[in-house]
Structure 1
Amino acid sequence: MGNSEGGLRIVENSDLLYEYNKNVRPAVISFSLGLDYPASCPNLLAGFIHIKPNDSFKQDSILTCTPLCLYVIRGCGTTKIADEGQVDWSEDDLLVVPYQTQALNHFAHEDTAFYYVHDEPLLKYLRAKPAEKAFTTTIFRSHVLREKVESIREKPGSEHANRLGTLIGNPDISETKSLTHTLWALMNVLPANSLQKPHRHNAVALDLVTYAPKGKCYTLIGYDLNEDGTIRSPTRLEWKSGSAFTTPLGMWHSHHNESTDEDAWILPMQDAVKMISKLEILPNEIFFNIFSHLLWNDILTSFWLLNKRFNSLIYLNFSINNCGIIINKTSLSYKIFLSKLFPLISNCSSLINSIRHIHLDGTCPHSYDFFNKNHCIQNYPNLKSLILDQFYLSKVLINNLCFLITGRLNELTMILDDVFTVFELEKELLERAATQKIRLHYACFIEYIIEHAPYIERLLVCLKTSWNRYQLSDLASEKFEQSNTISSNKAFDELKENALSNVRYTEFSLPSCRRGTNESVHLGKYLVPFLSKHMPYLQTLCLWKPDDFPWSSIRPDFNRARYELLARQWSKSLKTVESINKHVTLFENDLSQLVEQLKQFVYLNIYGHIIDEKVEPYRLMIQKRFPNTYFSIEKSRFRLWI
């Protein structure tokens, strides 16, 4: 019936299994289960049926089981059910029939192959006989199953899911969401060029490969995991369309699709009797779904150390992107964090090794304790993503980040804290000149990123408002001149002209062109010169602005002593026709300069806010100045495709 590897029964392609009692070939491993009746696992029997074109077959196993599941591997035809009439079926349909008092009559219009699963072994074990129907005969059409899975794939975050599939639930058994009262089934897609990470079940799974790209799909299966989460000394099972295999209880296995353009489909079925009796018997996928609705600290405090399986599930959950340590909730008890969570994380090497993502919010005191007590974030060897929100750059943090960006992190996002806030947080540690020194720290760190990550293609730096007082030209190869002390230290004299030459996409958050100091409102005029010199191959630019779309400004300089009065007068003048026309001209000049100096530029995206009276003048200007482009203009957003 097939071959065995590592104690596993492998059922080969169904073409090899047809000639047994003329039409039926069960996948029997009773001898290894210690049973004296046919079984593929303790409670279920699976097998194949072959019917030639224009031929019929009477299936009497329905007389000795409570559900019979038939998956149409190929072909089309009809099945006559004595008490319920006739059912038409075709390729990839799933027919589920309850206990019957008369045999089923299958008729094939063309060459047909069925895969079947039923619970006769369970009844044999119980020394019982079926007495009544537990549900209504149901047929699940192939297009319905596939469309449901595709809809799940389109949901946000599905790219991080370890499994993309839909539980096939019978409406008559809604309380357990199972296929029948004794069977659980899942229609599952394994996308091209993907893998389903190692996992295991607490019930034997009977897996049917409904489709697999030839020579591109396989399952690795073994008893233990390596430190990196891969399976130790695995057995490799090759997938073939129409073949079946079992994954024994408790064994680790991972599914792999190495095709670059074709999805694979698999239909696992499991005994559902145990699943409704114990929480631990639930499939791993159910627990991952539960975990997705819980905070990471709740997962640890609720499930950690229950048993080895739950520990393994937590390891796997943390290894998924965006499911790591996230400290941004003030509701997290400070006492619990210090007494339970931090010691637990720090003293468990397996847990540390599984963490791929850390997100720390500087407004939460636990975030600083994470660094102050942890000292070295380098202790997390598999960390790939780090988000620091409203943080200040202390010496310890800079040293850690400099190490991480040289060869470990795939993603680093920093939203730096206001320097005056930093001063308040470190007032016992820093001298009164702290604000200047902190700025030097920031500049040196950005320089370090550029020097040690020369092939960076995307750079996003979000600077808080106090940075607006420092001109963008500081980044455009000019020296610091804010004080003699800073100037003599020279954070960096010149930014290497090719340091950012690989950048194709960048974002800038610019200050207001209307409100602020005389220096900050004119900051935007340095934008295009900076981009053309240091990012000459830039293709996409995203700007975040608190007001109008132009990044240059026509606001005159205000005397500081009369700022409030002059600012009010200026604001009132902005709605006049003269002011609107000036801003139209200004915006045209900004756009023209951008397009002319960046030869490969293709897309501009600006988030801001304009008054209703400017929408139409801006639209007419774009149509006239850039007639062969596509654009979209709204009150809060402007987009231009070159």
Structure 2
Amino acid sequence: MHSEFKPNLTHDVPSEQMDAEYFEYSKAANPISANLITRIPYHSFPASLYDSGPSRVVALDLSEALGCEGPATGPGLCANFIRLNAGEALELHPNATSQVFYVIAGEGNLVQGEHEIAWSTGCFIALPGLLQARLSASQDARLYYVHDEPLLRYLGVTRSTDRFVPTLYPAALANLKLREAADDPRAQDRSRISILLGNRNFPQTRTVTHVLWAMYGILPAGSIQKPHRHQSIALDFIIDCPTGCYSLVGTELDADGQIRNPVRVDWSPGLAFVTPPGYWHAHFNESDTEAFLIPIQDAGLQTYLRALDIRFS
């Protein structure tokens, strides 16, 4: 009797072809819409995660929802809270090219290689990643901390060259520059009142590192920042705000340019929350007092790739 020959794939396919797959275009071209890759979730992280207790780094970890190895707050970034009690120190050495800190409260010292930085409330610090950094506190301190280790983990690479040196943005100077922006007669005609932290090593992107983008902004009393979107993830931190401040986030706009079926995120001092890439979002201050916020994004990388695509309604 004649029988059809069926090859034994285990033995008949060369080893270098064993992992190869082939997909018809329409079934693979948009893995997000096909639910093959998870969307970045909305999520908020309250100040209670770090306002007391022992010295520690608290990763804002969404890796389970993202379907990736953690810790990670987005596909390429990890946001963290740091609690550092007076007289204590923490060693930081992620496999990262870029690290940005904002000092929520306290003061202390940071040493990385031959560089030493004294920091205090309101300072921003940008660090490369090749060398370990030692963070010590002379007062009880809290910091917001973002780095790009998840990006390097996904690429399967390790840091090899620092693209910039440790850089301090002192609180007094950052506050002065922000107030100058707020007092500009044209400020009310702009989409937002803020400053972007830059580094002279990255003149094309005008960002705080080659990967990270950091904004220091004011949401004036009684104001609205109209809906906008961009392809970078936003890791937002609320420095201070009165009651009545919130964000609306959603995937679509209606005919009037407002966000359809939005998710509302109510602000509180010390809150961090995730705004997914590509989602429309708008910020509201319904009080009679200013609010202050810091979005940190991977927009340095997205801008360099010519993929940021920021839009306003």
Q: Same fold (TM over 0.5)?
A: yes
Cα deviation, residue 81, structure 1: 1.9
User: Which residue does 1:259 correspond to in 2?
Assistant: 287
- Name the SS of the counterpart of 1:58 in structure 2: strand
Q: Is the 8 A contact 1:79 1:87 kept in 2?
A: yes
Provide runs of 4+ in structure 1 moved above 4 Å.
18-22
Distance across 2 between alignment mates of 1:77 and 1:43: 29
Distance across 1 between alignment mates of 2:301 and 2:180: 29
More displaced stretch, 196-205 vs 51-60? 51-60
Give ranges in structure 1 of 5+ residues lacking alignment. 1-5, 285-312, 317-642
Return the index of the structure with the highest Cα Rg: 1
User: Which residue does 1:81 correspond to in 2?
Assistant: 112
Distance across 1 between alignment mates of 2:183 and 2:144: 29
Matched, 1:8 2:42: yes
Higher helix share: 1
User: Which residue does 2:134 correspond to in 1?
Assistant: 105
- Name the SS of the counterpart of 1:100 in structure 2: coil
Please, which of 45, 65, 72 is the counterpart of residue 32 of structure 1? 65
- Name the SS of the counterpart of 2:209 in structure 1: coil
Matched, 1:226 2:254: yes
Distance across 2 between alignment mates of 1:153 and 1:56: 37
How many residue pairs get matched?
A: 273
Cα deviation, residue 199, structure 1: 1.1
Distance across 1 between alignment mates of 2:102 and 2:152: 22
Please, which of 85, 90, 105 is the counterpart of residue 120 of structure 2? 90
Distance across 2 between alignment mates of 1:122 and 1:264: 31
Q: Is the 8 A contact 1:220 1:234 kept in 2?
A: yes
Aligned pair in 2 of structure 1 residues 146, 19: CA closer, same or farther (>3 Å)? Answer: closer
Cα deviation, residue 20, structure 1: 9.5
Distance across 2 between alignment mates of 1:199 and 1:28: 26
Matched, 1:161 2:160: no
Deviations 1:509-532 (A, max 9, x none): xxxxxxxxxxxxxxxxxxxxxxxx
Please, which of 216, 228, 232 is the counterpart of residue 187 of structure 1? 216
Q: Is the 8 A contact 2:228 2:310 kept in 1?
A: no
- Name the SS of the counterpart of 1:173 in structure 2: coil
Residue pairs, 1:605-620, within 5 angstroms: none
Q: Is the 8 A contact 2:129 2:159 kept in 1?
A: yes
Cα deviation, residue 200, structure 1: 1.2
Distance across 1 between alignment mates of 2:263 and 2:238: 18
Distance across 1 between alignment mates of 2:205 and 2:257: 31
Residue pairs, 1:98-177, within 5 angstroms: 98-101=128-131, 103-177=132-206
Q: Is the 8 A contact 2:109 2:136 kept in 1?
A: yes
- Name the SS of the counterpart of 1:172 in structure 2: coil
Q: Is the 8 A contact 1:19 1:25 kept in 2?
A: no
Aligned pair in 2 of structure 1 residues 177, 7: CA closer, same or farther (>3 Å)? Answer: closer
Aligned pair in 2 of structure 1 residues 19, 212: CA closer, same or farther (>3 Å)? Answer: closer
Distance across 2 between alignment mates of 1:40 and 1:240: 20
- Name the SS of the counterpart of 2:154 in structure 1: helix
Matched, 1:268 2:295: yes
AA matched with 2:56: N
Give ranges in structure 2 of 5+ residues lacking alignment. 1-39
Aligned-residue CA RMSD (Å): 1.9
AA matched with 2:71: P
AA matched with 1:120: E
Distance across 1 between alignment mates of 2:54 and 2:74: 21
AA matched with 1:12: P
Q: Is the 8 A contact 1:135 1:173 kept in 2?
A: no
Higher strand share: 2
Deviations 1:360-412 (A, max 9, x none): xxxxxxxxxxxxxxxxxxxxxxxxxxxxxxxxxxxxxxxxxxxxxxxxxxxxx
AA matched with 1:251: Y
User: Which residue does 1:283 correspond to in 2?
Assistant: 310
Matched, 1:248 2:271: no
Distance across 2 between alignment mates of 1:21 and 1:90: 20
Cα deviation, residue 168, structure 1: 0.8
Distance across 2 between alignment mates of 1:130 and 1:153: 38
